Structure 1
């Protein structure tokens, strides 16, 4: 049975449709569509690259190209700026739930099919889970301080020194002597820098930044984009 063409049907190019999905906020549909198109193109290229007349096909070349593309996608993560769309309003919102929102389930992860998809996932997931990533950084920094006790001593000493300065400033009325207060403030800053450097606090910060950045990039690139309402429902439950 043949169907006649509908004159009211609207056909738009794929690029225009993807732009509309992106501008309308349907990033989860765009993410899934990109994955499906890549899977279809990969299966089509594999079937066409294996002729039936040759007894010895060459699947190793296709496999090698596939792995090279994956490695190239992972390397491209170092060129992505995850904070390009991050604003102060993203930190003022509610923290997404860790189980159903941040971690998700086994089907919530997939390898990014292209560099464009990896870039889209990193920027959007960083906006959505920025509070979770900040909490992980604090956790990793605390673990680093636990591994480097002298850094913990230096950090506590610096905080105690600043608290002592605030207490003495209020007691002695340093606000009435701005020049003396400014000199003491500069001297305290230099002393804090020396204490932090001698106690290797910068190593703890570097370790925490490196580990948290790697976890953030891997999670944001492999985590599928989900509708925002789904995360809200998960938190309400």
Structure 2
């Protein structure tokens, strides 16, 4: 005898039960429930159409499934994964890279639909915010290593502002706000020229694009796990 995925189905509707799971933090149960529901629906549809199997129906079902997955992947790039981030997400400890962030092969699955993909992205981005930030720094360093002129431009722009700060403190430019404002505008223009001429913006764009794609794909394919693992008793 199989029980319903909602153990309180006789007294609480599924919508209210899912809302309670969200508010209580049991998102991994909601994620598993979405996958199970989609699997059950797919199995039922396949069993209903298996009475008269034809080459056209099999081919049509394959293309429908492929088109659905493509739409799910495209919908990932319409999300705003950073909308629910707060400063507290970066203040905690970095989750373990091997056990928590990467996991094993069973920790990944294709999202069953847009709702599940959206749920995974928003929750995983909050959980692994520090990991994704570290990956962005790594990709940025690799990109600058491959583009030495961009690295020189970035270092030059930083050195320019350090020199400006040193001269401002030494000459007391705070007493002459008009002169200081002119020098600030001049330094800004010089910084823009350096960044554009040495393709620093392209290096940052490449690093940001790669890290964003990795973040979206990892967050959507990574299954939700309990936020707080039970502590072991001594």
Does TM-score exceed 0.5, indicating one fold? yes
For residues 115 and 210 of structure 1, the distance between their equivalents in structure 2, rounded to whole angstroms, comes to 22
Aligned partner of 1:110 in structure 2 is 109
For these two proteins, the number of residue pairs brought into alignment is 224
- Give the CA RMSD over aligned residues: 1.9
Q: Secondary structure at the match of 2:77?
A: helix
Aligned partner of 1:23 in structure 2 is 23
**1:39/1:141 CA distance change after superposition, 3 Å:** same
Contact 1:46 1:62 in 2 (8 A): no
Aligned partner of 1:228 in structure 2 is 227
TM-superposition CA deviations, 1:105-141 (whole Å, max 9, x none): 1111000001100011111111111111111111111
TM-score, reference length from structure 1: 0.89
For residues 79 and 68 of structure 1, the distance between their equivalents in structure 2, rounded to whole angstroms, comes to 17
TM-superposition CA deviations, 1:12-47 (whole Å, max 9, x none): 211111111111110011001111111111111100
TM-superposition CA deviations, 1:188-207 (whole Å, max 9, x none): 11111111111100110110
**1:174/1:16 CA distance change after superposition, 3 Å:** same
For residues 107 and 71 of structure 1, the distance between their equivalents in structure 2, rounded to whole angstroms, comes to 22
Contact 1:73 1:114 in 2 (8 A): yes
Q: How does 1:155-234 map to 2 (within 5 A)?
A: 155-230=154-229
Contact 1:133 1:212 in 2 (8 A): yes
For residues 116 and 25 of structure 1, the distance between their equivalents in structure 2, rounded to whole angstroms, comes to 17
Greater alpha carbon shift after TM alignment, 73-82 vs 87-96: 87-96
**1:67/1:187 CA distance change after superposition, 3 Å:** same
Q: How does 1:66-85 map to 2 (within 5 A)?
A: 66-85=65-84
For residues 40 and 10 of structure 1, the distance between their equivalents in structure 2, rounded to whole angstroms, comes to 20
Deviation for aligned residue 1:96? 1.2
**1:174/1:74 CA distance change after superposition, 3 Å:** same
TM-score, reference length from structure 2: 0.90
Q: Which runs of 4+ in 1 moved over 4 A?
A: none
For residues 228 and 36 of structure 1, the distance between their equivalents in structure 2, rounded to whole angstroms, comes to 21
Aligned partner of 2:3 in structure 1 is none
For residues 180 and 30 of structure 1, the distance between their equivalents in structure 2, rounded to whole angstroms, comes to 61
